[in-house]
Structure 1
Amino acid sequence: MIAQLEQLDAVLFDLDGTLIDSEYFYYSNWSPILAKEFGLRITFEDWIQYFAGHTLVRNVSMLMDSYGIETTEEFMWKETRANYAKSDMTTIRLMPYAKEILEKLTTENKRLALVTSSYQTTVDTVLGQHGLLEHFEFFITREKVVYAKPNPEPYLLATETLGLPKENIMAIEDTSTGCAAAKGAGLTCVAVTKYGSEIEKLSKADRIVGSLQEVNELLFANDEGGLSVLGYKK
């Protein structure tokens, strides 16, 4: 499918791992709990491969099914939130080129929204710290849906809220769960990852790139001539 950026009316961004470099923050708060409470020691690579991009519900289920760990959502919620509170989420950095691409799309009058499995408090804390909340028309967060990614509900709700044809909307994601949700909602999805181990799992994406700067280059290949033609691989 070939689409022109002139026809692109809205871009839906994921948060964790896409706009903010939060995965090490989550890993550094989960791994001590897993080690202390259950004797399970995981590396950051393990986190990226098996935990990143998933909800608390799914990660608790995976701990039980794959590692034989008996725990509950309530326990992990309490323990992880206590660690998050002590760790200061305002220290989470933006992904490279996150601010620039949001500013550029805003300048081009593209409608922007956030579709994330994180809660609104996380969005407000981290994006507020970086002064980026104003770029988004609305936020689809975990508490606004019944089913989180990879279920398409978050993107279906975002599409309904925008009131635009699906072919005029692009999703930017970094995980297989996010891509599955976006594609399940009938949207074009560009996946961004710097981890080689993730590329095979992102096969549902229409395009895979290594950074937000590469997304920018796809969208704005002609800085002077205006908006370029963007080709998507099917």
Structure 2
Amino acid sequence: MLKTVIFDMDGVIVDTEPVHKYAYYKHFEELEIEVSDELYASFTGNSTRNVFQKVKENFQLQHEVEDLILRKRFLFNDAFDTKEDLHLIEGVEDLIKELHYNEVELILASSASKGTIQRVFNRFNLHQYFTHTVSGEDFPKSKPHPAIFLHAASLSIHPKENCIVIEDSTNGVEAAKAADIYCVGYRSSNSNLQDLAKADRIVNHFNELDVLNLKKGF
């Protein structure tokens, strides 16, 4: 029986991907490197640290990973704070409120940094609905490694068997399945290069999900 929903954040709750992409490519331009769309798509679901570890290795950069992270976060935060047209994904707020009203526990498990999670949750007043937020920066390995979802499930007051994950990326879906957790794949406008085939269920809009059909499908 469904008792806990573990949400990814970027591309599932809020569409910060365009802001991340702007910040990354602005930084790549400063570094004078060319990152292909295919390589960038493979970063989806990875923490900033893991992204720059891969970039450093791929392009043989001499920069310290910590310095790369700090510069990208500055560019992201600057863009995030000045971007007025940043909204929650259509339908997700209603789903979050319905789940919360029906006493389904909500946990966030995002590859985003703690600072970015805090910014999003403060801007959209989401803290009241979630019992825990888990950041990928606390784990040495990013999705598709299952560590973040295993930890999120361990924080739930219910057994892992009563949890589901909502994800929009190849790496996120693979991480959920590696953690042996039921996974709903959300096909967002930014996930056209993502393979969600391993998800237990795929939806194109959050109006396809509610407490009753989640429990039925689960």
Q: TM-score, normalised by structure 1?
A: 0.80
Partner of 2:51: 59
Structure 1 residue aligned with 2:108, among 97, 114, 117?
A: 114
Q: Distance in 1 between matches of 2:63 and 2:138?
A: 26
Partner of 1:229: 216
Over 3 Å counting, the alpha-carbon distance change for 1:102 and 1:90 in structure 2 is: farther
Q: Distance in 1 between matches of 2:146 and 2:33?
A: 35
Structure 2 residue aligned with 1:207, among 183, 201, 206?
A: 201
1:35 equivalent in alignment to 2:29: yes
Task: Please list, as runs of the form range in 1=range in 2, the aligned pairs for 1:150-189 lying within 5 A after superposition.
Answer: 150-189=144-183
1:77 equivalent in alignment to 2:77: no
Asked if the contact 1:38–1:69 (Cα under 8 Å) also holds between the matched residues in 2, the reply is no
Partner of 2:193: 197
Deviation at 1:185, TM superposition (A): 1.3
Deviation at 1:151, TM superposition (A): 1.6
C-alpha offsets along residues 61-93 of structure 1, whole Å, 9 cap, x if unaligned?
A: 433455565544123212112212322347432
Q: Distance in 1 between matches of 2:123 and 2:49?
A: 28
In structure 1, runs of 5+ residues without a counterpart are: 1-6, 222-226
Higher mean C-alpha deviation, range 184-193 or range 149-158:
149-158
Asked if the contact 1:13–1:114 (Cα under 8 Å) also holds between the matched residues in 2, the reply is yes
In structure 2, runs of 5+ residues without a counterpart are: none
Letter in 2 for 1:161: L
C-alpha offsets along residues 172-201 of structure 1, whole Å, 9 cap, x if unaligned?
A: 011111112211111000010234332xx2
Partner of 2:79: 87
Larger Rg computed on CA atoms: 1
1:13 equivalent in alignment to 2:10: no
Q: Distance in 1 between matches of 2:8 and 2:141?
A: 16
How many residue pairs were aligned? 214
Q: Distance in 1 between matches of 2:81 and 2:146?
A: 28
Partner of 1:23: 17
Letter in 1 for 2:89: M
Asked if the contact 2:45–2:171 (Cα under 8 Å) also holds between the matched residues in 1, the reply is yes
C-alpha offsets along residues 41-65 of structure 1, whole Å, 9 cap, x if unaligned?
A: 656x874x23322222332243345
Asked if the contact 1:172–1:191 (Cα under 8 Å) also holds between the matched residues in 2, the reply is yes
Structure 2 residue aligned with 1:104, among 98, 107, 115?
A: 98
SS in 2 for 1:196: coil
Over 3 Å counting, the alpha-carbon distance change for 1:157 and 1:90 in structure 2 is: farther
Over 3 Å counting, the alpha-carbon distance change for 1:190 and 1:90 in structure 2 is: farther
Letter in 2 for 1:110: V
Asked if the contact 1:90–1:126 (Cα under 8 Å) also holds between the matched residues in 2, the reply is no
Residue identity over aligned pairs, in percent, reads 24
SS in 2 for 1:53: coil
Deviation at 1:228, TM superposition (A): 6.1
